[in-house]
Amino acid sequence: MTDEHDHDARFTRLYSAYYGTLLAYARRQVDQGMAEDVVQKTFEIAWRRLDEVPAGESALPWLYCQARGEVANRRRWHRRFAEFLRRLEAQATPPGNGSAPPDLDGIFEAARACLSAADREALQLRYWEELTIEEAAVIAGCTPNAMAVRVHRARVRLEHHLLRLGYGGLP
């Protein structure tokens, strides 16, 4: 019981000491909402890997390293998402009546919002994080077969929502 208490107490000290510092760093790197996510993820990593976090003031550089990795992950995800939207836009058929082209960002976000959290996670891990089915399965805590089914079904549901919202489908 004392080990668990020591773990909790050490994490609480780290969090109290460095939350503000890491949030300020993340805000200089990404927007406010994303900065909070970066710090949350950084402390999730610290919680899971607390035995690897150096003691004393050496903990801050370790935490910065984790935060830096999270910032890079978020930026990579946004670049991939923007590229995905560009591909969607390139494949969209312009309307023949002279009206403005469809708002693909809005259509895609509306379709994505219709998906469950599990569907969004499956698609994100596979397509935006560009993980293999096996890697995504490890992260999601399921078998590769189950992940392949999840990804397939999520993609089908996303395409259904895109069609319902007026876009012709996925590339």
**pLDDT value for 89:** 63
143/127 Cα distance (integer angstroms)? 18
For the chain (171 residues), the mean pLDDT of every run of 10, in chain order, is: 79 95 92 87 94 92 93 82 70 53 68 82 81 85 91 86 69 52
Whether the model clears a pTM of 0.85, i.e. scores above it, the answer is no
**pLDDT value for 11:** 95
Tell me if residue 21 falls in helix, strand or coil. helix
**pLDDT value for 78:** 76
**pLDDT value for 53:** 95
Q: Where are the domains of the chain?
A: 2-75, 101-171
**pLDDT value for 43:** 95
104/110 Cα distance (integer angstroms)? 10
- Does domain 2-75 sit in CATH 1.10.490.10? no
Domain 101-171, second-level architecture: Orthogonal Bundle (1.10)
**pLDDT value for 67:** 93
